Amino acid sequence: MSFVSVRHLTKTYTGHPAVDNLSFELQPHSCIALLGVNGAGKTTTLKMLSGLVKPTSSTIQFHQPTPHGKGHIRADIGYLPQFPVFCDWMTGFEFLFYVGQLAHLSRREAKRRTKELLDKVGLTEAAHQRIGQYSGGMKQRLGIAQALIHQPKLVMLDEPVSALDPVGRREILQLMQTLKEEATVLFSTHVLHDAEEVSDAVLIIDQGQLKYGGTLDSLQQEWQDAAIIIEAQDDLTNQLRNWREQKRIVDFVTEDDGYKILVEDIELAVPFLLHAFAQRQVRLTKFEVAKMSLEDLFLKVVQK
Ligand SMILES: Nc1ncnc2c1ncn2[C@@H]1O[C@H](COP(=O)(O)OP(=O)(O)OP(=O)(O)O)[C@@H](O)[C@H]1O
């Protein structure tokens, strides 16, 4: 059963829909990537879900009893903005302790949780250093810790790695993978590679509309062009033309050293072609099922 159901989430700014009738489900303890180009509506979606922007219309339902009880949905949500702002003169410890108290934790609980989270995000050694001296990656880890301070069930991270160098990026992606143990994680990015590394599912939005929702595997299955790349020591043009006329293949394109064969059903086409080439004693040097990159798949989905 899903953890959160979002129905008809819409935000209109002066007649222009920034988010247009989005409906999706979030599964518990999963990491979901919200993918879209600049201006697609990612930040607006996350802000509406976290209660920072009022939707023009929506129904958002939590399906599981949350520890804070009905009517306190915000208490179950943690949020890291795209451009977090810190008090640079505070230490990491002071900041988290302060945020814990803002989240209505007792002083004792805020202190306990501060220590626990500093450890979780790898900042224990820097706990008493001023935030102004932190690197970008350390600030981002502190930002994630503040989003988790009140043990929310849903954590939303807006572009958590986009401003980081490859090392910082890796650290945060690894950290995000561990967050699933305690919460459902929804994060926005325009980098498909990040989504591929950590997410169980993706939501692709374009101009405020949901273009795809599901796992990366099913994205590949549903949207992958069915094509086989072959290279051979023989000229296969006539043979492929015949198969095209007989509708055994959809089409073929001559490439540098071989052919790209477009087929309707890859599962049927592979055994058919392998058998047919073997029967005709074709000297194949390459036989490969073509895989579109995630970037290609993303473009295909948003350009549909
Ligand atoms: N407060 C606002 N007033 C008017 N228009 C807005 C406002 N906030 C966002 N928009 C518009 O809504 C659309 C979606 O913006 P949003 O920031 O949600 O996109 P995004 O996918 O997060 O982009 P980016 O990756 O650049 O952060 C854009 O066209 C933006 O100009």
Break the chain into its structural domains and give their ranges: 4-85+142-218, 224-302
Contact, 117 vs 141, CB < 8 A? Answer: no
Per-residue pLDDT tens over the stretch 62-118: 776 655 555 556 778 999 999 999 999 999 999 999 999 999 999 999 999 999 999
Residue 245 CB contacts under 8 Å (≥ 6 apart), including other chains = none
pLDDT of 41 strictly over 80: yes
pLDDT at 227: 86
pLDDT over threshold 70, residue 201 = yes
| pLDDT at res. 230 | 93
Residue 295's pLDDT band (cuts 50, 70, 90):
confident
Average pLDDT of the chain is 89
| Whole-structure pTM value | 0.81
- Percentage of the chain beyond pLDDT 90 is 57
Nearest-CA residue for atom 10 of ligand 1 = 18
The protein residue with its alpha carbon nearest to ligand 1, atom 16, reads 41
Interval 163-195: pLDDT, tens? 788 888 888 898 898 898 889 999 999 888 888
**Ranges 121-130, 205-214, 260-269: which has the least confidence:** 260-269
- Distance between Cα 44 and ligand 1 center (Å): 6
Cα three-residue angle 135-140-144, rounded to 5 degrees:
150
Ligand 1 atom nearest to 205, measured from its CA = 21
Q: Let me know if 188 is exposed, middle or buried by CB neighbors in 10 A (0-12, 13-18, 19+).
A: buried
The topology under which CATH files domain 224-302 is Alpha-Beta Plaits (3.30.70)
Q: Comparing 59 with 37, which gets the higher pLDDT?
A: 37
What share of the chain has pLDDT > 70, as a percent?
96
| Residue range 272-290: mean pLDDT, rounded | 92
- The ipTM estimated for the assembled molecules is 0.96
pLDDT classification of 145: cutoffs 50, 70, 90 = very high
CA-proximal residue: ligand 1, atom 26 (nearest): 38
Domain spanning 4-85+142-218: CATH 3.40.50.300: yes
Which stretch of 62-66, 79-83, 155-159, 296-300 has the lowest confidence by average pLDDT? 62-66
Comparing 162 with 128, which gets the higher pLDDT?
A: 128
Ligand 1 atom at minimal distance to the Cα of residue 158:
22
